[in-house]
Chain A
Amino acid sequence: NAGVTQTPKFRVLKTGQSMTLLCAQDMNHEYMYWYRQDPGMGLRLIHYSVGEGTTAKGEVPDGYNVSRLKKQNFLLGLESAAPSQTSVYFCASSEREVWGYNEQFFGPGTRLTVL
């Protein structure tokens, strides 16, 4: 099992460009998440999905869109990149929660720089 994989690992964009980050998991998990990690801010939830065809907003959703067309994939899109979106992006997945919590499995991250 590869677990959670993310592509690409690194990307440099110019302001205004668009791109899509791909997350794939092979654990048959229902839930998937996108986080961003910034120095001094920690990890923050952008969007998440509770199943194929569903998406919902997290703490910092502005400027991002997501899609979950297949259970194993969760896409994060930036329509018009801004320097404030320079960050490391992590995808995670988990099974349905049990007793109000679950273990999230994280991918290795995508380091994005917007010039």
Chain B
Amino acid sequence: TQLLEQSPQFLSIQEGENLTVYCNSSSVFSSLQWYRQEPGEGPVLLVTVVTGGEVKKLKRLTFQFGDARKDSSLHITAAQPGDTGLYLCAVNQMYSGGGADGLTFGKGTHLIIQP
């Protein structure tokens, strides 16, 4: 069972449209992160949300953490071709024998913004 379920898996829209992608789980998390990955590169952190109900904005991107801290959404307003990429949500996951947390990722949403 996947810890983090992301939807949709693929999304292709026209430039200027709005969109929302989701990251859902049945578990409660102390924090949740969103990363963006472009082809041939590693993921880059966009935002970390830590408080239930929290909303964070990054230019045209709006991130929300669910009240129960089980889910999150990413809304993009007036999408641009530069927003194209793989959007990943991730949570810290404790592993035995450590003191640091590795990240557990969802499978991601592949977003294509067509000019």
Of B40, B48, B50, B102, which one neighbours A58 at CB under 8 angstroms? B102
Of B30, B31, B98, which one neighbours A48 at CB under 8 angstroms? B98
Cα distance, A100 to B103, chains bound together (Å): 12
* CB-defined contacts of B101 to chain A, threshold 8 Å: 97, 100-102
For A, the interface residue count at a CB cutoff of 8 angstroms equals: 33
Asked whether any CB of chain B lies closer than 8 Å to the CB of A70, the reply is: no
When C-beta atoms are compared, the residue in chain B nearest to A46 turns out to be: B102
Cα distance, A28 to B103, chains bound together (Å): 20
Cα distance, A45 to B3, chains bound together (Å): 14
B42 near A4 (CB under 8 angstroms)?
A: yes
Segment of B52-60, B75-83, B104-112 in the binding face: B104-112
B50 near A48 (CB under 8 angstroms)?
A: no
When C-beta atoms are compared, the residue in chain B nearest to A32 turns out to be: B100
B98 near A50 (CB under 8 angstroms)?
A: yes
A43 near B88 (CB under 8 angstroms)?
A: yes
A42 near B100 (CB under 8 angstroms)?
A: no
Asked whether any CB of chain B lies closer than 8 Å to the CB of A90, the reply is: yes
Provide a sorted-by-A list of 5 A–B residue pairs whose CB atoms are within 8 angstroms.
A43-B90, A43-B103, A57-B95, A90-B42, A100-B101
Kindly list the 7 A-B residue pairs having the minimum CB-CB distance in the complex, ordered from nearest: A106-B42, A45-B102, A42-B107, A101-B31, A43-B105, A56-B98, A50-B100
